[in-house]
Amino acid sequence: MSGDVRVCFVGDSFVAGVGDPLLLGWAGRLGQRAVADGVQLTAYNLGVRRQTSADVLSRFGAECEQRLLAGTDARVVVSFGVNDTTHENGGPRVDPEGSAVNLTKLLEQAAAQAWQVLMVAPPPISDAEQNARTAELDERFAEICASAEVPYIQVHQALLGSEVWMREVRDGDGAHPGAAGYDVLAALVLPHWREWLSR
């Protein structure tokens, strides 16, 4: 592994860690564990609230190019989708086909730059109907990542079954958990994160 590992965490409010009083979210927790494991990590949190896959795609290249410099071990962790499946004005903010196209284009941009990518699935919230739409998008994202040979971490169903995650989401704003919920999500991603960093 390079002595200069740089990872951009790109996505929505879950990437930003909204709701976590420790201001770490799952991305910050993964970064902490990597440093504890001896990785010389520079982590950039590029999560933005309410952003859809289209919003993330529009800024992805420009923001990551400034941080993932040539000669470094340049990597990207992406996670989005919940805002795509949010209904506004009678339909989803981004339809499933559009979400799939946006992810495909993002992965193509990353491949062109030789950035290694890890993707984390969109998590559930307290709305069962939206969760059903997000679960379908989760499966579509998994297929796209498999075709692109990008590791994809399917956390959606596990979090639906997590009493801690769902309780904290309900007790919070209906979407975001607190510290204990982000602990659960980070723990689900951690073994995959460690394996990916070791490549």
* Distance separating alpha carbons of residues 35 and 52, to the nearest angstrom: 30
The reported pLDDT for the residue numbered 50 is: 98
Residue 72 sits in a domain of what CATH number?
Answer: 3.40.50.1110
Helix/strand/coil (H/E/C) assignment for every residue in 88-150: ECCEECCCHHHHHHHHHHHHHHHHHCCCEEEEECCCCCCCHHHHHHHHHHHHHHHHHHHHCCC
92-113: pLDDT as tens digits? 999 999 999 999 999 999 999 9
Query: What is the helix (H) or strand (E) element at residue 153, kind and residue range?
Result: strand 152-153
The reported pLDDT for the residue numbered 3 is: 83
Hey, what are 193's tokens?
Answer: 């994160």
Residue 123 backbone class (left: φ over 0; alpha: ψ -120 to 50; beta: rest): beta
Query: What is the helix (H) or strand (E) element at residue 159, kind and residue range?
Result: helix 156-160
Total number of domains in the chain: 1
Angle at 24 between CA 193 and CA 61, to 5 degrees: 65
Domain that holds residue 21: 5-197
What angle do the packed helices 179-197 and 25-36 form, to 10 degrees? 50
The reported pLDDT for the residue numbered 24 is: 98
User: Which parts of the chain have pLDDT scores under 50?
Assistant: 1
Instruction: List the beta bridge partners of residue 152.
Output: 119
The reported pLDDT for the residue numbered 109 is: 98
Quote the mean pLDDT of the chain: 97
* Distance separating alpha carbons of residues 12 and 129, to the nearest angstrom: 20
Model pTM?
A: 0.97
The reported pLDDT for the residue numbered 2 is: 56
Question: Residues near 69 by Cβ (< 8 Å), separated by ≥ 6?
Answer: 6
Identify the three-state secondary structure at position 29: helix
Quote the DSSP letter at residue 173: T
**Taking the mean position of all CA atoms in its chain, how far away is CA 80?**
6
Label the pairing between strands 41-47 and 152-153.
unpaired
Residue 49: what residue type?
A: R
